[in-house]
Amino acid sequence: MLTRLIDQVLPPRCPGCGAIVSAQGRFCADCWATLHFLGPPWCETCHLPLGSTVGARARCDDCRAAPPRHAGVHAAVAYGEVARTLALRLKHGGRAAYAVTAARLMARWVPAEATLLVPVPLHRWRMWSRGYNQAALIAAAVSRVSGVAWHPRLLERHRATPMLRERGAGERHRAVAGAFRVPERRRARLAGADVVLVDDVYTSGATADECTATLLAAGAARVTVLVWARVLPRTD
């Protein structure tokens, strides 16, 4: 009854454009049609989407040159205007409910063998200023949908890192090097776990790579990356 009352006073709106929709967290037909859902055929190693003519065991150029330590990146959608709007409204606009919207579309990519969801952490200074970690909100929502347990503070960002948006790939990797750790008192929870690292957007992979290395060094058996949107290389 309370939900119906709220919907009458504050009608549910599309996360992409703000149009009134039938239920909270739903996209309108126009925004839904522009979402680029990701899936095979893709790179066997990192799950970067590839052309339809590639073989089942194809690998992208980057993975042939330097295979990542994670077990692949699963993204619900490609980064585009609507995906970007949802991510920004969740991260900076206080629209916590959009974490559930993202999680519903991400949950299908949770590996069957996954035992633990771990969000990419924020440094405590950024947590104080923002008030919440959008990756943790998404991880909690994915946990509710998938039934896989999650831990909000197993991985820590103990060193503040600069904004990575305008930096190149090399600068991003240097900026996050050594920024994460698993506290000794929590390592038992991680031992032998099949971890899914959860974040909102995957860009260069610098943060995911550093988190993966930290989790594996602390005892995780495997790390898969799960995100709402993945930035794809530009193609002509």
Distance, CA of 191 to CA of 179 (rounded, Å): 21
Give the fold, CATH level 3, of 35-230.
Rossmann fold (3.40.50)
Distance, CA of 204 to CA of 153 (rounded, Å): 24
Distance, CA of 183 to CA of 217 (rounded, Å): 12
CA angle 219–220–225, rounded 5-degree value? 150
Give yes or no for a contact between 196 and 146, defined as CB atoms under 8 angstroms apart.
Answer: no
pTM of the model: 0.89
Tokens 């090399």 belong to 170
The pLDDT assigned to 167 comes to 59
The pLDDT assigned to 27 comes to 95
Which two structure tokens, joined as six digits, stand for 43? 């790179």
Domain ranges of the chain: 35-230
Q: Is 51 exposed, middle or buried (0-12, 13-18, 19+ CB in 10 A)?
A: exposed
Residues of the chain with pLDDT under 70: 1-9, 52-56, 162-173, 235-236
Buried/exposed 181-218: b ≥16 CB within 10 Å, e otherwise: bbeeeeeeebeebbbbbbbbbbbbbbbbbbbbbbbbeb
The pLDDT assigned to 108 comes to 95
The pLDDT assigned to 62 comes to 86
Distance, CA of 89 to CA of 47 (rounded, Å): 27
> What are the CA-CA distances from residue 90 to residues 79, 87, 132, 138, 197 (Å)?
15, 5, 10, 10, 18
The pLDDT assigned to 25 comes to 83
The pLDDT assigned to 163 comes to 64
